[in-house]
Amino acid sequence: MIYRQSIGPVNLATVKSQSMLSTLTHVLTGRNDRPILLDIKWDKEQTQKGLVIFVHGYKGFKDWGAWNLVSEKFARAGYTFLKFNFSHNGTTPDHPTDFVDLEAFSDNNYSIELDEIHIVTDWALSSNEVPSSKQTALIGHSRGGGLAILGASEDERIDKLITWAAVSDFGDRFPIYEDLHQWKWDGVYHVLNGRTGQQMPHKYQWYKDFKENEERLYIRRHAREYTKPSLIVHALDDLAVHGSAAMRIHKWIKTSQIILKDDGGHTFGMSHPWDKENLPIVMNDVVARSISFLSL
């Protein structure tokens, strides 16, 4: 493992394992008047140390894999943990773990998701339903990690940033050359969801919106200007987002710390569905070190 600064892990087994957790679900209005389903978990017996807003990634959703166990770990450590579904991620409030609305999925883009991070943050920091806390942090996984960098850079209220297996450049995620021209000609291209077998549609508007808003969506520029405490976590055997992305982000954010895991893959040992009672060893350590970072 490689560290810029060593962060001692938290023994999560010692953290109030028997305390009762409070859970709140809520629906906000997102872009294009579509619903944003969210849930919040906290330990009502503890004074809240901070609010954590979690941003899921591409072909993901707030209840994917073991994200609910992750939420519980943070809550038991004294943090209010909020996770949400982007309004255009293909799920609906009635079907929060299934891609039943592929039309909405095809209308999604980075600008929509970045705007919705702010919609969720605005609500969380102003709602009487959310316990008050000392600090606010953004955590993003994969594509959500890149969005979290942008969201934190645009919002002074975000005190700390954590990325898990984050992308470092949205432009690199698009088709190129003949494939890009074919996409423009056809108006849509499809990506196979290996887990569900669905062909996930992407309208050309996604790329067009990126080019029209490239300055706002340019991760490198915003990362270089970001000066608040940041933690970057990545697995060296990540096949979806190469570990070099983490090194680039670490280089750009001068105030960042980095943890490179030897293994764990893109999801740190998690898969969907996750029917086990505990987190995989790698993800449990990622959570522990993230909580330790927030407590500094």
Work out the pLDDT band at 11, boundaries 50, 70, 90: very low
The pair of three-digit structure tokens given for residue 97, joined into one six-digit string: 């773990």
Instruction: Answer left, alpha or beta for residue 58, where phi above 0 means left and psi between -120 and 50 means alpha.
Output: beta
- Assess whether pLDDT exceeds 70 at residue 213: yes
CA dist 13 → 46, 51, 73, 174, 285 (Å): 17, 21, 9, 42, 12
Average of per-residue pLDDT across 194-219? 98
188/182 Cα distance (integer angstroms): 9
Residue 27's identity, in one-letter code, is V
Q: What is the mean pLDDT of the chain?
A: 94
**Percent of residues, the chain, with pLDDT higher than 70:** 94
- Assess whether pLDDT exceeds 60 at residue 39: yes
- Assess whether pLDDT exceeds 50 at residue 43: yes
Work out the pLDDT band at 18, boundaries 50, 70, 90: very low
Work out the pLDDT band at 128, boundaries 50, 70, 90: very high
Q: Decide if 235 contacts 264 (C-beta within 8 A).
A: yes
- Give the per-residue pLDDT at 260: 98
- Assess whether pLDDT exceeds 60 at residue 5: no
- Assess whether pLDDT exceeds 50 at residue 52: yes
- Give the per-residue pLDDT at 15: 40
43/51 Cα distance (integer angstroms): 12
Work out the pLDDT band at 132, boundaries 50, 70, 90: confident
- Give the per-residue pLDDT at 19: 60
161/187 Cα distance (integer angstroms): 36
- Give the per-residue pLDDT at 180: 98
Average of per-residue pLDDT across 190-207? 97
- Assess whether pLDDT exceeds 90 at residue 261: yes
State pLDDT tens for residues 235-254: 999 999 999 999 999 999 99
Average of per-residue pLDDT across 212-220? 98
Average of per-residue pLDDT across 40-65? 97
- Assess whether pLDDT exceeds 50 at residue 152: yes
Rg (CA), the chain: 18
223/133 Cα distance (integer angstroms): 26
Closest CA to 61 of 219, 285, 233, 274: 274
**Residue scoring higher pLDDT (239 or 134):** 239
Work out the pLDDT band at 97, boundaries 50, 70, 90: very high
